[in-house]
């Protein structure tokens, strides 16, 4: 299996190199050259299997010869052993035909753990074979960073630097990143928003001297391995509701477009997904684009769903690549226009996008109201991101097709918003009960590439 860049100018790579290298050297994102398919018989045979067994069957065709079957199965087992629910991703019924896929039973209480725990295992295996070290730099609006730190803390072959937007994430999210004591973990509070963090991260990948010098690796959804691991729970959930003999739709709280793009990959692999619904908060560039064809950036507005406070949505580039019939030059041209503020998606590409995706936007008041209603009428306490997914699903769903909303984080990560909406303050699990008394370690950093790179090099050297 080879991976190619969405901008068409970087060399094709195998799975391991794709995973370890992050952004393609032409600035694009790696995608599989061809998307493997599973037959209806293959999908039907997943009924009754464990999450780990389904994960192996779904991901195996993408991995090529990077790991033997035995090693890959073992990495999967280790990745999910620490999850707090036997089903890993349990499905609960919210209402008639509407289900919630709880993706927050991993160690850091967000869906990011599904991919990050596995990536942590895969990096360790690959680095121990090669004897090499890497420097992971990640950009986070709150959840990717804590999941990455949890997956890589204490590892000898890895330093992990996480850029988060100062004062724009929840206190629980911040403390998850600033309280680990391992010396290979470096939390950096950047003066800017998440888009600035992600832009500086991409700048670092595009600075080849720095990139090669520190052996830069990425664990954002820039990394194909992140998207791949997220494909699995579309299969596990759809199969438990009757796929492949029944169509299923998904409502996905969306920011960087990685999670919903994983759903698109599941669909391309043969899973009978009807609609993929992009649910956004007031930072609604994706909803505006899918409604009008105009992808025009705006400054990020802070919200009660901070993990989705994103305007430049990285993985949308992967969706555009397919919508433009895999024309890397066309995508490179759009990304150049984006630097100047935005672009217009062609009619043909919009038709392709609309074949798969619907979208909706939810205001702050509607988010609070949805948390309240879900608690009052369904007995389910939602985090604000999950509430956005539920609100859009309720507004748009076809009563004849089951709808699964992805519950992307545990409500206890956002206690202030949840309490404001419902009057209930969700407690953290016992293992995190001392989070608020642990000492914090963080460096405030400017939104300046040179200073960030110097900081990282100095820390690695010391």
Task: Map tokens 């759009």 to a residue.
Answer: 334
Residue 221 or 223: the one with the smaller Cβ distance to ligand PLP is 221
> Which of the listed partners (ligand LJ64HWYM, ligand PLP, none) does 375 bind, with a CB threshold of 5 to 8 Å by partner kind?
none
- State yes or no: residue 108 binds ligand PLP (CB under 6 A): no
Query: Could you write out the three-class secondary structure of 349-418?
Result: HHHHHHHHEEEEECCHHHHHHHHHHHHHHHCCCCCHHHHHHHHHHHHHCCCCCCEEEEECECHHHCHHHH
What is the distance between the alpha carbons of residues 265 and 268, in angstroms, rounded to a whole number?
5
Which stretch, 82-90, 96-104, 141-149, 241-249, contacts ligand LJ64HWYM (CB under 6 A)?
141-149
Q: Which of residues 203-232 bind ligand PLP (CB under 6 A)?
A: 221
Active-site residue 112, yes or no? yes
- Would strands 98-102 and 91-95 be described as parallel, antiparallel, or unpaired? antiparallel
- 254, 280, 281, 359: which one binds ligand PLP (CB under 6 A): 254
Which tokens is 154 given?
A: 């204490």
Among residues 388, 375, 366, which one has the least CA distance to residue 419?
A: 375
Give the Cα separation of 444 and 157 in Å (integer): 25
Nearer to ligand PLP, 252 or 334 (CB): 252
Of 259 and 322, which has the nearer Cβ to ligand PLP? 259
Q: In the set 6, 141, 305, 311, which binds ligand LJ64HWYM (CB under 6 A)? A: 141
* CB closer to ligand LJ64HWYM out of 201 and 214: 201
Please report, as residue ranges, which positions from 286 to 325 form the binding site for ligand LJ64HWYM (by CB under 6 A). Answer: 307, 314
Stretch binding ligand PLP (CB under 6 A), from 177-185, 248-256, 287-295, 436-444: 248-256
Burial of 448 (0-12, 13-18, 19+ CB in 10 A): middle
Instruction: Tell me if 258 contacts ligand LJ64HWYM by CB under 6 A.
Output: yes
306 belongs to the binding site for ligand PLP (CB under 6 A): no
| Stretch of 136-144, 152-160, 178-186, 288-296 contacting ligand LJ64HWYM, by CB under 6 A | 136-144
> Which of ligand LJ64HWYM, ligand PLP, none does residue 220 bind to, with CB < 5 to 8 Å depending on kind?
ligand LJ64HWYM
Among residues 402 and 411, whose Cβ is nearest to ligand PLP? 411
Q: Does residue 294 contact residue 286 with C-beta atoms inside 8 Å? A: no
Q: Does 143 bind ligand LJ64HWYM (CB under 6 A)?
A: yes
Which of these, 188, 105, 101, 113, lies nearest to 143 by C-alpha position? 113
Q: What are phi and psi of 287, to 5 degrees?
A: -65, -40
99 CB neighbour count, 10 Å cutoff: 21
The answer to whether the CB of 205 falls within 8 A of the CB of 23 is: yes
Residue pair 244/271 in contact (Cβ under 8 Å)? The answer is: yes
Q: Are 368 and 323 in contact (CB under 8 A)?
A: no
Q: What is the DSSP letter of 244?
A: T
Per rule CB under 6 A, count of chain residues that contact ligand PLP: 15
* Residue 307 interacts with ligand PLP (CB under 6 A): yes or no: yes
Contact of residue 408 among ligand PLP, ligand LJ64HWYM, none (CB under 5-8 Å per partner type): ligand PLP
140 binds, among ligand PLP, ligand LJ64HWYM, none (CB under 5 to 8 A by kind): ligand LJ64HWYM
124 interface partner picked from ligand PLP, ligand LJ64HWYM, none, CB below 5 to 8 A per type: none
Mark the segment that binds ligand PLP (CB under 6 A) among 6-14, 205-213, 250-258, 434-442.
Answer: 250-258
- Which residue in the set 180, 258, 270, 415 belongs to the binding site for ligand PLP (CB under 6 A)? 258
Q: Are 10 and 28 a contacting pair, CB within 8 Å? A: yes
User: Residue 413 CB: number of other CB atoms within 10 A?
Assistant: 30
**Helix-helix angle 316-323:328-339, to 10 degrees:** 140
The span of 122-130, 177-185, 251-259, 264-272 binding ligand LJ64HWYM (CB under 6 A) equals 251-259
Cβ atoms of residues 417 and 368 within 8 Å: yes
**Catalytic site residue from 9, 78, 112, 457:** 112
Strand 443-445 and strand 185-190: pairing?
parallel
Q: What are phi and psi of 253, to 5 degrees?
A: -60, 125
Active site residues: 112
Using CB under 6 A, list all residues that contact ligand PLP: 110, 143, 221, 253-259, 307-308, 385, 408-409
Using CB under 6 A, list all residues that contact ligand LJ64HWYM: 140-145, 220-221, 255-256, 258, 307, 314
């Amino acid at each position: 299996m080879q991976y190619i860049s969405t901008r068409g100018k970087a060399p094709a790579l195998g799975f391991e190199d794709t995973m370890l290298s992050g952004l393609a050297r032409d600035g694009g994102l790696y995608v599989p050259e061809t998307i493997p398919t599973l037959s209806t018989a293959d999908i039907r045979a997943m009924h009754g299997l464990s999450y780990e067994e389904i994960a192996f069957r779904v991901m195996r065709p993408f991995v090529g010869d990077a790991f033997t079957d035995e090693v890959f199965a073992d990495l999967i087992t280790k990745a999910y052993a620490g999850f707090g629910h036997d089903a890993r991703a349990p499905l609960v019924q919210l209402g008639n035909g509407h289900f919630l896929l709880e993706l927050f039973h991993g160690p850091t209480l967000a869906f990011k753990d599904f991919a990050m725990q596995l990536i942590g295992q895969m990096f360790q295996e690959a680095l121990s074979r090669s004897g090499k070290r890497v420097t992971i730099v990640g950009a986070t609006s709150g959840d990717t960073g804590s999941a990455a730190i949890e997956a890589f803390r204490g590892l000898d072959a890895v330093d992990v630097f996480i850029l988060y937007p100062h004062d724009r994430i929840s206190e629980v999210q911040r403390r998850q990143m600033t309280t680990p004591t391992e010396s290979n973990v470096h939390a950096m509070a950047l003066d800017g928003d998440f888009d600035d963090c992600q832009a500086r991260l991409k700048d670092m990948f595009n600075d080849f001297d720095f990139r090669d010098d520190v052996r830069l690796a990425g664990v954002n959804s820039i990394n194909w391995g992140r998207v791949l691991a997220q494909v699995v729970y579309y299969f596990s959930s759809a199969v438990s509701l009757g796929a492949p003999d029944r169509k299923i739709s998904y409502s996905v709280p969306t920011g960087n477009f990685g999670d919903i793009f994983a759903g698109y990959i599941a669909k391309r692999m043969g899973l009978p997904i009807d609609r993929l619904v992009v649910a956004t908060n007031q930072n609604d560039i994706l909803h505006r684009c899918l409604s009008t064809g105009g992808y025009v950036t705006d400054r990020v507005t802070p919200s009660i769903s901070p993990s989705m406070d994103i305007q430049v949505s990285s993985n949308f580039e992967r969706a555009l690549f397919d919508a433009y019939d895999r024309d890397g030059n066309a995508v490179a041209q759009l990304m150049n226009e984006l630097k100047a503020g935005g672009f217009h998606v062609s009619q043909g590409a919009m038709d392709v996008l609309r074949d798969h995706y619907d979208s909706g936007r939810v205001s702050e008041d509607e988010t609070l109201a949805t948390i309240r209603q879900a608690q009052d009428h369904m007995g389910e306490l939602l985090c604000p991101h999950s509430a956005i997914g539920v609100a859009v699903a309720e507004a748009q769903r076809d009563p004849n097709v089951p709808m699964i909303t992805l519950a992307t984080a545990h409500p206890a990560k956002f206690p202030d918003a949840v309490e404001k909406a419902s009057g209930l303050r969700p407690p953290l699990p016992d293992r995190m009960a001392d989070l608020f008394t642990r000492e914090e370690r963080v460096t405030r950093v400017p939104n300046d590439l040179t200073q960030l790179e110097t900081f990282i090099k100095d820390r690695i050297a010391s």
